[in-house]
């Protein structure tokens, strides 16, 4: 007979530590896939990646083990790459498996969508076959409002309702297209087609001077990624359209990008200690 283990397994201890730390922190906001906590220094925020997946404006919900860990790592990877090429982002550093420290910013209430191939709502709205290459990258804007289902809006709405100035919009489009070039090249290098993606933009203030930065997250939750050879979907459409195991798809993206070893996402659940 083996003696009972007086101490929790390392993974369980890490989990307990994370939970204890979370309990002490002030929660600022809880969204569908992330929780934001007050950061350790003024102007910082801790972004916690949940395993929750939602689709169709939260009408479809599930908990997918390992998704938060993968998205934390992948978002770190993309944001760090963007910072390296001079695209400013909110990312400061990763704290642990599920959390990263980011710069606090004022989120522009828009989803910025860039499309290289027709898919999803564009394919439906305009009756274009999914997978059709677009003549050039198309940038669209949706007003961030869950109750309204994030409706598509134009620059006219954005200017008229004061969500962003024309000058901001010029900067936002330039940022979005740089992100598109960066991600397209990165993905192409590992045999993946970047079909489309969504980013969010934040404002930060240095004295009176305002800057726009890429915020929120960049992960397969907010992109469409298709294997170039087989067309296999490696993004949240796997969940939206019931195409298989979402963690497997995201793990494949992470593996190809060299972001994390295959097994690292499957962290054991804490065990009851007698």
Interacting residues with ligand 5GP (CB under 6 A)? 111, 113, 119-122, 150, 196-198, 221-224, 236
Distance CA 171, CA 12 (A): 45
Q: Which is nearer to ligand 5GP, 33 or 92 (CB)?
A: 33
The nearest distance, CB 150 to ligand 5GP, in angstroms, is 5
Closest to ligand 5GP by CB, 89 vs 222, is 222
Min CB(55)–ligand 5GP separation in Å: 9
Residues present in the chain in total: 274
Residue closer to ligand 5GP by CB (options 75, 222) is 222
Instruction: Give me 240's structure tokens.
Output: 């939206």
Place of tokens 């939970």: 19
CA 165 vs CA 144, 151, 209: distances in Å? 17, 19, 15
Residue nearest to ligand 5GP (CB): 120
Q: Which is nearer to ligand 5GP, 15 or 197 (by Cβ)?
A: 197
Query: 42 and 212 in contact (C-beta within 8 Å)?
Result: no
Shortest CB 198 distance to ligand 5GP, Å: 3
Q: How far is the CB of 146 from ligand 5GP (least distance, A)?
A: 8
Q: Which residues pair with 198 in a beta bridge?
A: 113
Closest by CA to 152, choosing from 112, 195, 199, 118, is 112
């Amino acid at each position: 007979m083996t003696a009972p283990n007086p101490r929790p397994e390392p993974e369980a201890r890490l989990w307990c530590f994370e939970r204890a730390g979370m309990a002490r922190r002030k929660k600022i906001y809880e969204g569908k896939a992330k929780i934001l906590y007050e950061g350790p220094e003024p102007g910082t925020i801790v972004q916690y990646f949940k395993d929750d997946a939602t689709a169709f404006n939260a009408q479809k919900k599930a908990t997918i083990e390992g998704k938060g860990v993968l998205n934390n790592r992948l978002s770190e990877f993309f944001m760090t790459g963007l910072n390296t090429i001079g695209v400013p982002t909110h990312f400061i550093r990763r704290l642990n498996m599920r959390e990263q420290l980011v710069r606090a910013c004022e989120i522009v209430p828009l989803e910025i969508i860039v499309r290289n191939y027709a898919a999803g709502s564009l394919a439906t709205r305009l009756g274009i076959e999914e997978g059709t290459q677009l003549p050039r990258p198309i940038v669209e804007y949706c007003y961030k409002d869950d109750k309204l289902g994030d409706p598509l809006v134009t620059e006219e709405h954005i200017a008229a309702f004061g969500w962003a100035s024309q000058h901001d919009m010029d900067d936002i489009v330039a940022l979005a297209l740089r992100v598109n070039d960066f991600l397209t090249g990165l993905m192409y290098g590992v045999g993946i087609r970047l079909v489309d993606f969504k980013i969010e933009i934040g404002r930060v203030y240095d004295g009176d001077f305002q800057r726009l930065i890429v915020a929120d997250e960049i992960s397969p939750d907010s992109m469409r990624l298709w294997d170039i050879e087989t067309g296999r979907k490696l993004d949240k459409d796997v969940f939206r359209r019931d195409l298989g195991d979402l963690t497997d798809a995201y793990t494949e993206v992470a593996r190809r990008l060299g972001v994390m070893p295959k097994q690292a996402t499957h962290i054991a659940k804490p065990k009851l200690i007698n």
